Structure 1
Amino acid sequence: MVFSFKGFHTCRDEGGLQAIRDSVPFVSRPNKQWLGQGYYFWTDSSYWAKKWMKDPKVISQFTLTIEKDQFLDLVGDVSDQELFLSICEIFNEDYPHYEEYSKLHGDSVTVGAVISFLRRQDAAGEGEKLFPYAAVRAKDRRKVNNILFVSGQRSELSLVEPHQLCVYEEYKSKIINFENFIHPEHYC
């Protein structure tokens, strides 16, 4: 199965149209990233891309095409969420590499630290791949609004959530395809 997403990438408007076109998307900084270092996109809608940074900014649209077995979807796949929870639960004092993990990331188990650590282990080439994913999609608690499912009950539907998808550097050419600029208007 192949997934295809619209992805929106926000960057500073520096260097002019051609320089940005030749460089987008930009890889994130190496440390303290939500999903590890990679290329970050807001998926499906440009709403959060527009909110992300003050002007002057540029928003470019991409098509992201990913094979299911290379995609960890922490937004739309409950089994992927269960899998990732089970991975995070092994990061405690009994984990054979816990001392190395805590030297790099401290004692907190965070999404970005777990992914970065497992990808680092994989890059070292020690045995079977621990994190065989080309991309991960996640969300946080932000939203534009909540609407009750049924009057008088507490269950709510969160609307317009920020879904971010991170594509790792070594998969860039296979997954990411530039479409066009959507902001500022004179770049469109």
Structure 2
Amino acid sequence: MSKDKKKKQPDPEKKLMDEIEQNTVPEEKPVPENSENTEAETEPAENSLQQELDQANAKVAEYLSMAQRIQADFENFRKRNENVRSDAYADGKKDVAAAMLPVLDNLERAVEAASGSEDESLKNGVALVLKQMIEVYQKLEVSPINRLGEKFDPNLENAILQGAPEDGEPGTVCQVLQKGYRMGDKVLRHAMVKVVPE
């Protein structure tokens, strides 16, 4: 029996050796390099990568060009819009100033009519309103066209009457029937004048 027991019990050294063999990873055998196959495989890969890089660079250049065009278009739009806005503001200012000219004319007439009145408060009140109106026009850079005695200019005046030769030199303005006004170098209203014939 003891012999049988010995046979049945595995040898501890053998057991340890078996475990080591089972847990050991087999060594990888180096694959002999075949230089022709490796070069043949890498060339198409390099060509493919180069093509992809070229395509990506072309896309980048296209997008950059598009972005630059869009930026230039936006700058042009911004400048155009700025000009349109400033022109619209100037035109609006001009239109309001021109629309208020009859009010200014009537205030001047009221001051003339009130000068014969004995009511000082009426004269002072109308004169004060006229003064305020003139100040507003000065802020808007509106000025009267005063060319009495000067050579007639059709760009600034409308000749509606002809004066007598003794009224002044030929071709000159001898009487202003209605004042003209300008805003800067733009005429708001032409002066209505009487001109000495030539």
State the TM-score bracket (shorter-chain normalisation).
Answer: under 0.3
Structure 2 length as normaliser, TM-score?
0.19
More strand by share: 1
Structure with greater Cα Rg: 2
- Larger fraction in helix: 2
Give the TM-score taking structure 1 as reference length: 0.20
